[in-house]
Structures are given as C-alpha cells and as structure tokens.
Amino acid sequence: MPIYNAPAKDLQFVLHNLLKVSEQDIEGYADLEADFTGAVIEEAGKIATNVLAPLNAVGDKEGCVLENGVVRTPKGFQEAFDQMRDGGWTALDCDPAYGGQGLPYVMNTAAQEPFVSSNMAFNMYQGLTHGAYSAINVHGSDELKEKFLPKMVTCEWTGTMNLTEPHCGTDLGLMRTKAVPQENGTYKISGQKIFISAGDHDMADNIIHLVLAKIPGGPDGIKGVSLFIVPKFIVNEDGSLGDRNGVSVGKIEEKMGIHGNSTCVMDYDDAEGYLLGTEHKGMRAMFVMMNEARLGVGLQGYAQAEAAYQNAVAYANDRLQGRAVTGVENPDGPADPLIVHPDIRRNLMEQKSFIEGARALTLWGANLIDRAHRNKDADADGLVSLLTPVIKGFQTDKGFEYAVAAQQVFGGHGYIEETGVSQFARDARIAMIYEGANGVQALDLVGRKLAQDGGKHVMAFFEMIKTFIKENEGNEALKADFLDPLKAASKDLQAAGMYFMQNGMTNPNNALSGSYDFMHMMGHVCLGLMWAKMGKAAMEALEAGADDKAFYETKIATGRYYMARQLPTTAMHLARINTGADTVMALDADQF
C-alpha cells in the first residue's frame, strides 16, 4: 500500500520562514504562530496518514455505485467523513456566525494539502461543499444563509456546483437549463447538468446544489445566466427536511480516475430553486469564488505529485538494481538501490524542486487572497487574479507530469494497480481539465489578466522581482545560483509580454498562439521567485544557527537544482512564442 506522511516541516517553512505569516498585518494572522500552525498541520497529517490514505485505493477500486437512484460511496468513506466533520476540519476558515472557526484561508490551505495528497477523490466532497458555502456566504440573503450555511459548515449537508451541460462546458452562454419564476418568489429549474462532482452520495442528509440556469426572457448568452440554490430535499421553515425536490441522478460516469468521487449526470425537473444574488448576474457570482476554487485545483496538482513522489523515493531507496557507475555503494547487497543512479536522481529532483516551489506559490496565493478579502486590498486582489491561472494551469500540468515521472521510477511495478502509483497519475489527470481546462487558463492569463487594470498587476509582479533582485544582489551566495537565473527568466517573460503587445494588436492570434507557452513560462518565473526567496530564507535560518541544518541545506540544494535545470525552460518558451501565429494557423481545418 502506498505510504503518505504530511510534509509538516516544509509547510511550516513556507508559512514562517518564507511568508512570515504571524508578522503580517492581516486580521487573524497574529494568531498564526508556529506552534499553532504546527499543531493544526500535525493533526491534519495524522488524519491523512491514518484515515484517508488507507481509503485511497479502496475508493479507486470500488468507485461509486448508483443503485435504485441512490449513490453508494466506497466502504469506509462514511466513517472517515464523520471523523472529518467531528474534528471540525470542514469548518476551519468558515464564518464563526455559522459555526466556522474563522481561521485565515492560508491556514485552511496548508491544512488541506495532506487531505488532498492522501485521498483527492474523498476530499472533493468537502471541497465542493466549501465552494458552495462561499457562494452562498457572499451572495445569499441572511435568510438563505441562516437556512443553509450552518449545516454546510459542518458538512452535514454537502454542496455541488452545476455548470456544465452536455453541449457546453467552457462556453456557458449556450446553456439550456431554465429557471421559471414562481409567484412565491422561488423558481422551477429544469434541465440536465453533467460532470457534477459529488452530485449525489450517501454521506450527508441533504445536498445543496448550486445551479446555473437561464430565466426565460433574459439577455442572450452568458449575460442571461443566473445562479440558484437547489436542495435535494426541501428544507422546511423549522430547518427539518421536507419533500424530495425535483432533482435526480441520471447516471454516474466511468472515469480515468477519482473513482471515489461520484461524478453525476443531474436531471432537474421542475425542481424548486432560490435565486442567489441578482438575476442574470450568475456568472459574476461564480467568478467571486473562482480564484479560491482554481487555487484549490492548483493545490491538487502538486499534492498528487507529492504523494507520488514520497512513494517513488521510498521505492528508489528500497529497490536494489544495478550498481552505481562511480563504484559500489551497497557492497553487502546483491545490487545498489535505484537512488544511486543519476537519472533516477534527476527524475526525483525534478519532482521535489517543483513540488516545494508549487507549495510556496500556492500558499503565497492563499495569503494574497486573505489580504484581498480581509484587508480589502485591491492590489493583492489584482495580483492573485493574475497568478490564479498560472497556479491552476501550470501546477496541474506539472503535477500530472511528475506523478507520471514518479510512476516511472517503479518500472513495470508502476503500471500495475497493486502498487497504487498509477492512481496518483490517473487522479491528477482531472485537475488539468476541470475548473476551466488549462488551455482556457492560458487564454484567461494572456487574453484578460495581462491587460487587466491597464497591465498594472503584471507590472507590479515584474517590479516585485526586480526589487527582490536589487535588494539582494550584494548577497554573493544568492546571486549566482538564484538571482542571476531569476533575472534571465524574468527577462524572457517580459520579452514574451512585449512580443504580445507588439504583435497581438494587428493579429490577436499572435498572442493566443503563445498563450500556453506563456502560462508555463510564467509558472517557471513564479517558482523561480519562490525559490530565490526560499533560498534566502534558508540561508538566513542557517546563519541564525537553526537546529535542523540538514533541512535548510537540502532546501538550498533543491532550489539550486530548480534554478539551474528548470528555469532555462523559459528561453525555449520565448523562442516558441516569438514564432507567432504563422505556423500554428497555417492549415485549413480539413488539412488536419
């Protein structure tokens, strides 16, 4: 069975050495002392290791089953879900007014990582609920909030997001689901939604569906879409559950992975729904949660890679095969462990240096979301909006790539399901697709975010890098290994942005043909910035005489790997971008 242990020390390093959260002037951050965050992470890690990880393969093997209109989750899920509820893990950053603990989002994000690594499919039940909770919390009337939120905070009731229909995913303006206004102020919802994660299951008394639908007579396309609350069971005035609403499961999809999560076709047939927010402003209501939701998916990317990496390291240390080219290292054994071989190391260093960089970027993103929300800081909001498609798109592409790379360490044993590493790759695959396929993230980044507020946020991002380099270039230890590569990569990224400006006006295809490369390039620059800062933080810890020297030395060595071997990728992306649209758009559709 695969192993999993929460990277508690590394999460703490990011929170305290890199972000110095308890020193930040954000409401609630003063409480985030190292002892406190360490205790939370340790407890989350225990549940991940002892409760969730053992159920990961069970969920993959059993999957969810639809029987007589009821979805059965895999054996053990119900008990584990009870434990999550009872421990208050579903409520960490929820509003205390509805029973939440009111902790900052950055704390919740750090605590989530072990849950996602150990059992991504399981964790989606609470993840989706959290998304629905946020939508209602931001857009709901007091009445709706009081009716639904307390039970959602505890996950006694879970939530879903219903966007996709058979004929439309990205292009939601084509939506056909209808919401007909009733005299009593409710709506009758009818239509079919597909790919609804956690759409139905047996672990909660009620399921609160958030459903996008069109009110007849409203504007065409995306501007006529509204958001509704549609509970599985009608909630009576006294809070008790009433009749079954007009919503049912059409089928459960068979998928490449995340078998433990029920992906449902949901059929709405005159279901009673309640308008959330304003008529026809449903997309705006959805967008409010999008940074959080996409950051959560970006976390899934590196968290699956982390789980796969831990197992690859264990296997590489355990499996004896061949001899080190520089001389026998395990003379008493029949062969040396795999980890002596340079190409195995290269593979593991790729994984490790990505994962730790992505962890830093994700928690920084969560930190910016806190600053935006709690301090009403528009600059932080703009910056995290810029970073969001990168966190989602880059990290899920790479997360899958490295889960596959971890599988490769196992050789043939990685292809059979018995060892469990194939599951990490199959589960990670979905993160590249949902919450906006990664091509759409790239389009969002280049088509919208770069130019947002007159390009203010991307300029601020470059300025931040420049300032950091300037402030630290006297630091010899940092300069050659960290600052110089960061400077070069950042220059490449700026040159790509310049290319888009100069060539995208006359033909937008020149920019959009390079959007995917730009997203990856920016991902590398972001991780380069994280590594430069982490390198500095680790050096400072060593200078301050930190106890665990090996940890900080490892951190610096891992950062050096990233800067030397991953950052050069930016030059390749720039070269590709600079070729523009000509070769990309050369063929007619029928020439493919």
Q: Given phi > 0 = left and psi -120 to 50 = alpha, else beta, which region is 28?
A: left
Amino acid at 226: S
Q: Which listed residue (6, 92, 299, 316) binds its own copies by CB under 8 A?
A: 316
Of the residues 79, 279, 435, 553, only one is catalytic, namely: 435
CB proximity list for 551: less than 8 A, separation 6 or greater = 9, 13
Q: Which listed residue (169, 181, 218, 246) binds its own copies by CB under 8 A?
A: 169
Question: Quick check: 509 binds its own copies (CB under 8 A)?
Answer: yes
Question: Quick check: 208 binds its own copies (CB under 8 A)?
Answer: no
Q: Which helix (H) or strand (E) is 244 found in, with range?
A: strand 241-244
> Closest separation between CB of residue 424 and its own copies, Å?
11
Q: Which listed residue (34, 464, 480, 585) binds its own copies by CB under 8 A?
A: 585
Q: Which listed residue (347, 362, 395, 490) binds its own copies by CB under 8 A?
A: 347
Q: Which stretch in 7-15, 363-371, 455-463, 512-520 sits in contact with its own copies by CB under 8 A?
A: 512-520
Question: Quick check: 399 binds its own copies (CB under 8 A)?
Answer: no
> Closest separation between CB of residue 212 and its own copies, Å?
15
Question: Quick check: 80 binds its own copies (CB under 8 A)?
Answer: no
Concerning whether 435 is annotated as a catalytic residue, the answer is yes
Task: In whole angstroms, give the CA distance from residue 207 to residue 325.
Answer: 59
Question: Quick check: 505 binds its own copies (CB under 8 A)?
Answer: no
Tell me the two tokens of residue 116.
Answer: 């996602």
- Interaction residues for its own copies, span 16-45 (CB under 8 A): none
- Interaction residues for its own copies, span 82-141 (CB under 8 A): none
Q: Which residue's CB is nearer to its own copies, number 101 or number 554?
A: 554
Question: Quick check: 345 binds its own copies (CB under 8 A)?
Answer: yes
Question: Quick check: 549 binds its own copies (CB under 8 A)?
Answer: no
Beta-bridge partners for 411: none
Find tokens 């490790």 and name the residue: 352
Task: In whole angstroms, give the CA distance from residue 265 to residue 260.
Answer: 16
Q: Which stretch in 129-137, 254-262, 366-374, 455-463 sits in contact with its own copies by CB under 8 A?
A: 254-262
CB proximity list for 467: less than 8 A, separation 6 or greater = none
Beta-bridge partners for 181: 187
Q: Which listed residue (236, 317, 467, 475) binds its own copies by CB under 8 A?
A: 317
> Closest separation between CB of residue 344 and its own copies, Å?
7
Question: Quick check: 337 binds its own copies (CB under 8 A)?
Answer: yes
Q: Which residue's CB is nearer to its own copies, number 472 or number 509?
A: 509
Pair 356, 534: CB distance under 8 Å = yes
Q: Given phi > 0 = left and psi -120 to 50 = alpha, else beta, which region is 244?
A: beta
- Cα–Cα distances in angstroms (integers) from residue 488 to residues 462, 491, 563, in the given order: 12, 5, 10
Tell me the two tokens of residue 285.
Answer: 């209501």
Question: Quick check: 263 binds its own copies (CB under 8 A)?
Answer: yes
Pair 226, 210: CB distance under 8 Å = no
- Cα–Cα distances in angstroms (integers) from residue 508 to residues 161, 459, 511, 520, in the given order: 33, 21, 5, 19
- Cα–Cα distances in angstroms (integers) from residue 482 to residues 22, 59, 290, in the given order: 26, 42, 33
Question: Quick check: 214 binds its own copies (CB under 8 A)?
Answer: no
- Interaction residues for its own copies, span 440-479 (CB under 8 A): 442-443, 447
Question: Quick check: 554 binds its own copies (CB under 8 A)?
Answer: yes
> Closest separation between CB of residue 494 and its own copies, Å?
19
- Interaction residues for its own copies, span 285-314 (CB under 8 A): 313
> Closest separation between CB of residue 351 and its own copies, Å?
9
Task: In whole angstroms, give the CA distance from residue 149 to residue 139.
Answer: 12
Counting every residue written for the chain, the total comes to 592
Find tokens 């990582």 and name the residue: 113
Task: In whole angstroms, give the CA distance from residue 181 to residue 270.
Answer: 11
- Interaction residues for its own copies, span 356-395 (CB under 8 A): none
Question: Quick check: 161 binds its own copies (CB under 8 A)?
Answer: no
Q: Which listed residue (201, 352, 392, 457) binds its own copies by CB under 8 A?
A: 352
Residues marked as catalytic: 435
